Structure 1
Amino acid sequence: MTATAPSLPTWDLSDLYPGPDSPELAADLATSETEAQDFAARYAGKLATLSGDELAAAVATFERIQERFGRLLSYAGLLRAGDLLDADIGRFAQSVQEKISDISRVLIFFSLELNNLEDGAFEAALAQSAALAHYGPWLLEVRKYKPHQLAAELEGILHDKQVTGASSWVRLYDETLATLSFTIPDPASGTSETLTMEEALDRLFAPEEARRKAAAEALSATFRDNIRLFTLVTNTLAKDKEIEDRWRKFPSPEASRHLANQVEPEVVAALVAAVREAYPSLSHRFYRLKAKWMGKDKLDHWDRNAPLETGEDSAISWDEAKVIVLDAYRAFSPELADVGQRFFDKPWIDVPPRPGKATGAFAHPTVPAVHPYLLLNYMGKTRDVMTLAHELGHGVHQVLAADQGLFLSDTPLTLAETASVFGEMLTFKAMLAATTDRAKRRHLLMSKVQDMLNTVVRQIAFYTFEQKIHAARANGELTAEDIGKIWLEVQSESLGDAIRLNDGYDVYWCYISHFIHSPFYVYAYAFGDCLVNSLYATYEAEPEGFAAKYMELLAAGGSKGHKELLAPFGLDAADPAFWRRGLATLASFIDELEENS
Structure 2
Amino acid sequence: MRKISYPKVWDLDKIFMGGGKSSQFSDHIKRLEDLVHALEGSVISLITPLSTTEVIKVVHLIENIGNIRLYLSQATSFITCLLAQNPKDQDAANLRGKIAKIESHFEKELSKVKKIFIYTKEDVWESLLETEELKEYRFILYEWRENADKNLSEEALNLISDLMVDGYHAWGQFYNDLVSRINVKILINGKEENLSVGQAINLRSHPNEEVRREAHYALESIWKEKEEVFSKIINHIAGFRIQVNNQRGIKSALEDPLKKNRMQEETLHTMWKVISKYKQPFSNYLKRKAGMIGGSSMKAYNFWATVTTSKQEIKFEEAATFITEHFSKFGTEIEGFVKKAFNEGWIEAEDRPNKSAIPFCAGFPLTGESRVFMTFSGTFTNVLTLVHELGHAFHNHAMKSVNGLNKRYPLSIAETASTFSEMIIFDAAMKKANSKEEKLFILDEKLKRSVMNFMNMHSRFLFEQRFYKERNVGFVSAHRINQLMEEAINEAYAGSLEQPSIYSWVWTPHYYITQSPFYNFPYTFGYLFALGIYAKAKEKGKDFEKDYLALLRDSGSMTVENLVMKHLGEDITTEAFWEKGMALCVQDAEEFIKLTSS
TM-score relative to the length of structure 1: 0.93
- Work out the CA distance in 1 between the residues paired with 2:22 and 2:538: 51
Change (3 A) 1:287 1:337: same
Q: Is the 8 A contact 1:418 1:529 kept in 2?
A: yes
Secondary structure (helix, strand or coil) at the match of 1:263 reads: coil
Letter in 1 for 2:72: F
Q: Does 1:490 align with 2:493?
A: no
Equivalent residue, structure 2, for 1:168:
170
Q: How does 1:411-430 map to 2 (within 5 A)?
A: 411-430=409-428
Change (3 A) 1:498 1:41: closer
Equivalent residue, structure 1, for 2:544:
546
**Out of 419, 441, 444, which is 1:443 matched to?**
441
Q: Is the 8 A contact 2:297 2:496 kept in 1?
A: yes
Which sits farther off after the overlay, 147-156 or 8-17?
Answer: 8-17
Q: Does 1:24 align with 2:24?
A: yes
Equivalent residue, structure 2, for 1:68:
71
How far does the alpha carbon of each residue in 1:327-371 deviate from its partner, in whole angstroms, 9 at most, with x for none?
121112122211222211222211124333222311122324442
Letter in 2 for 1:372: S
- Work out the CA distance in 2 between the residues paired with 1:265 and 1:489: 24
Q: Is the 8 A contact 1:534 1:578 kept in 2?
A: no
Q: Does 1:508 align with 2:510?
A: no
Equivalent residue, structure 2, for 1:97:
100
Residue 254 of structure 1 deviates from its aligned partner by 1.7
Equivalent residue, structure 2, for 1:183:
185
Residue 317 of structure 1 deviates from its aligned partner by 0.8
Secondary structure (helix, strand or coil) at the match of 1:359 reads: coil
- Work out the CA distance in 1 between the residues paired with 2:88 and 2:352: 11
Change (3 A) 1:148 1:354: farther
Residue 534 of structure 1 deviates from its aligned partner by 2.1
Change (3 A) 1:532 1:87: same
Which sits farther off after the overlay, 89-98 or 287-296?
Answer: 89-98
Q: Is the 8 A contact 1:204 1:302 kept in 2?
A: yes
How far does the alpha carbon of each residue in 1:361-382 deviate from its partner, in whole angstroms, 9 at most, with x for none?
1112232444222112212111
Q: Is the 8 A contact 1:209 1:303 kept in 2?
A: yes
Q: Is the 8 A contact 1:85 1:178 kept in 2?
A: no
Letter in 1 for 2:209: E
**Out of 370, 385, 388, which is 1:387 matched to?**
385
- Work out the CA distance in 2 between the residues paired with 1:70 and 1:542: 35
**Out of 145, 150, 167, which is 1:143 matched to?**
145
How far does the alpha carbon of each residue in 1:300-331 deviate from its partner, in whole angstroms, 9 at most, with x for none?
2211211124x534211111111111212111
- Work out the CA distance in 1 between the residues paired with 2:102 and 2:534: 45
Equivalent residue, structure 2, for 1:299:
298
Residue 11 of structure 1 deviates from its aligned partner by 3.3
Q: Is the 8 A contact 1:223 1:507 kept in 2?
A: yes
Q: How does 1:78-227 map to 2 (within 5 A)?
A: 78-102=81-105, 105-127=108-130, 129-146=131-148, 150-186=152-188, 188-189=189-190, 191-227=191-227
Residue 569 of structure 1 deviates from its aligned partner by 2.3
Which sits farther off after the overlay, 491-500 or 229-238?
Answer: 491-500
Equivalent residue, structure 2, for 1:499:
497
Q: Is the 8 A contact 2:108 2:157 kept in 1?
A: no
For structure 2, which runs of at least 5 residues remain unmatched after alignment?
none
- Work out the CA distance in 2 between the residues paired with 1:116 and 1:160: 24
Residue 548 of structure 1 deviates from its aligned partner by 2.6
Equivalent residue, structure 1, for 2:476:
478
Identity fraction in percent: 20
Change (3 A) 1:290 1:550: same
Letter in 2 for 1:269: H
Equivalent residue, structure 1, for 2:563:
565
Change (3 A) 1:107 1:126: closer
Secondary structure (helix, strand or coil) at the match of 1:373 reads: strand
- Work out the CA distance in 2 between the residues paired with 1:411 and 1:121: 28
Which sits farther off after the overlay, 254-263 or 368-377?
Answer: 368-377
How far does the alpha carbon of each residue in 1:478-511 deviate from its partner, in whole angstroms, 9 at most, with x for none?
1111011111111112223443226xx3223201
Letter in 1 for 2:392: H
Equivalent residue, structure 1, for 2:342:
344
Letter in 1 for 2:284: R
Q: How does 1:280-429 map to 2 (within 5 A)?
A: 280-282=280-282, 284-309=283-308, 311-429=309-427
Secondary structure (helix, strand or coil) at the match of 1:15 reads: coil
Residue 196 of structure 1 deviates from its aligned partner by 1.1
TM-score relative to the length of structure 2: 0.93
Q: Is the 8 A contact 1:464 1:490 kept in 2?
A: yes
Secondary structure (helix, strand or coil) at the match of 1:144 reads: helix
- Work out the CA distance in 2 between the residues paired with 1:392 and 1:138: 27
How far does the alpha carbon of each residue in 1:157-201 deviate from its partner, in whole angstroms, 9 at most, with x for none?
111112111111111111110111111123x42x32221111111
- Work out the CA distance in 2 between the residues paired with 1:368 and 1:409: 12
Which sits farther off after the overlay, 329-338 or 144-153?
Answer: 144-153
Q: Is the 8 A contact 2:551 2:567 kept in 1?
A: no
Q: Does 1:588 align with 2:587?
A: yes
Letter in 1 for 2:228: R
- Work out the CA distance in 2 between the residues paired with 1:144 and 1:353: 47
Q: Is the 8 A contact 2:7 2:342 kept in 1?
A: no
Q: Is the 8 A contact 2:19 2:82 kept in 1?
A: no
Change (3 A) 1:85 1:354: farther
- Work out the CA distance in 2 between the residues paired with 1:6 and 1:338: 15
How far does the alpha carbon of each residue in 1:499-550 deviate from its partner, in whole angstroms, 9 at most, with x for none?
3226xx3223201000011320111000000111122334445658433312
Letter in 1 for 2:173: R
For structure 1, which runs of at least 5 residues remain unmatched after alignment?
none
Secondary structure (helix, strand or coil) at the match of 2:361 reads: strand
Change (3 A) 1:116 1:357: farther
Secondary structure (helix, strand or coil) at the match of 1:192 reads: strand
Q: Does 1:246 align with 2:246?
A: yes
